[in-house]
Amino acid sequence: MIVNSRVYHAGRHGEEVDIDNISEVLKEPDAFIWLGLLHPDAEFMHRIQKEFGLHDLAIEDALTAHQRTKIEHYGDSVFIVVKTARDAKDGTIHFGETHIFIGKNFLITVRHGASDRYSSCRKRAEENPDMLAMGPGYALYCILDFIVDNYAELTMSLSGRITDIEDAMFRSDFDKSAVQRVYVMRRHLLALRNSAMPVVEICNQLVRLHDELIPKPLKAYIRDVEDHASHVVSDAEDMREMLTTAMQMNLALVSVQQNEVGKKLAGWGAILIVPTVMFSMYGMNFDHMPELHTHYGYPVVVACTFSLCTLLWWKLRRTGWL
C-alpha cells in the first residue's frame, strides 16, 4: 500500500520515514512528509488519519473510488480529487483517480485505478531543492502538472487518430466501423474534457484561497497548470466538434449517394414504362387495333417503342438522372 514515504528538511535530504514515526517528524519545524499510497485499505487509512489528523469525511472519500473531481477544505488541510488517465495498448483510455491530502507539512497521494507512478514527479521536485524548500505546495504543483500533461499527450494522440477517422468518414458509402470509432473517440474526448475542466477551478481556488499552502512564488506555477488544463478542455471540445461535423458530412454523402441511386432507378423505370405499355396494349387481343393486321405493324410498333425509349434516355441523360 505504501509506494513511497519520505521526509524533506528545507527541501533536501529526502529520507525514508516509518509510518509509526510520522507524528514525531511532523513536529519538526522545517520538515514535510511526502507519502504515496496505492489502494490502501480502511484499517491503514485510519492509521494515517490518526498520524496526520485528517478529517473523517476526507478519509471516507479517499477509501471510495469514483469520486467527482473536487477540492475540499477541512481545518488545516485540503483534500483534492483529480481524475487520471492512461492510454492502453489497445487504443482505449483508462481513467483512475488520485486523492490528495495537503497540509502545511505533509502531502499524501492516494491512487485508485489507472494511473502512472509519481516517481518522476518526486525526482523532478528533488532536483529543485530551492522550490521544494517552500513546502508541499511545490510537490502538489509537480503532481498536478504531471496529470495535466498526461491529458495533453492523450489529446495529441487522439488528434492523430482523428485524421484517419476523417478519411474514413469522407466517403459516400456507410462504414459502420468508422461510425463506431467516432462514437468511442467522442466518449474519450468527453471524459478527458470532464477530467480537465474541474482542474481549472481547483487551480483557481489554490491560487486565491490557500496562501498558507501555496506561497506567492508558486502561484505562477499553479496558474500555468490552470492554463494547460484550459487548453486541454478547448482542444477536446474542438476535436469533438470536428468529429460531429465529420459524421454529419458522412451522413450527407450517404444521403446524396442514395438519392443518385434513386434517380437512376427512377429514370430506368420511366424508360421501361414505354415498352411495358406498348406491349401490354398489343397483348390484349382486340380485333380492331391500329397496325394490328398490316404487314409492317410489328416493326413499326417496335421502332416507335425504341425511339421513345431512346428519346427518354437522352432527356434523362441531359438532366443528370442517368
Bridge partners of 97?
A: 83, 112
pLDDT of residue 175: 65
Cell of 183: 462514437
pLDDT in tens, 151-200: 988 888 887 777 777 666 666 566 667 777 778 888 888 888 988 999 99
Measure the CA–CA gap between 210 and 212, rounded to whole angstroms. Answer: 5
E strand segments, the chain: 2-9, 12-16, 31-38, 70-74, 77-87, 93-103, 106-113
| C-alpha dihedral (281, 283, 289, 291), degrees to nearest 10 | 100
Collapsing DSSP states into helix, strand and coil, what is residue 122?
helix
**Chain-wide mean pLDDT for the chain?**
82
pTM score above 0.85 = no
What's the CA dihedral at 13, 19, 21, 27 to 10 degrees? 70
Query: Is 91 or 215 the better-scoring residue by pLDDT?
Result: 215
- Rounded distance between C-alpha atoms, residue 78 and residue 62, angstroms: 12
* Tens of pLDDT, residues 198-217: 999 999 999 888 888 888 88
Rounded Cα gap, residues 53 and 124, in angstroms:
28
pLDDT the model gives residue 58:
87
Mean pLDDT of 267-271: 78
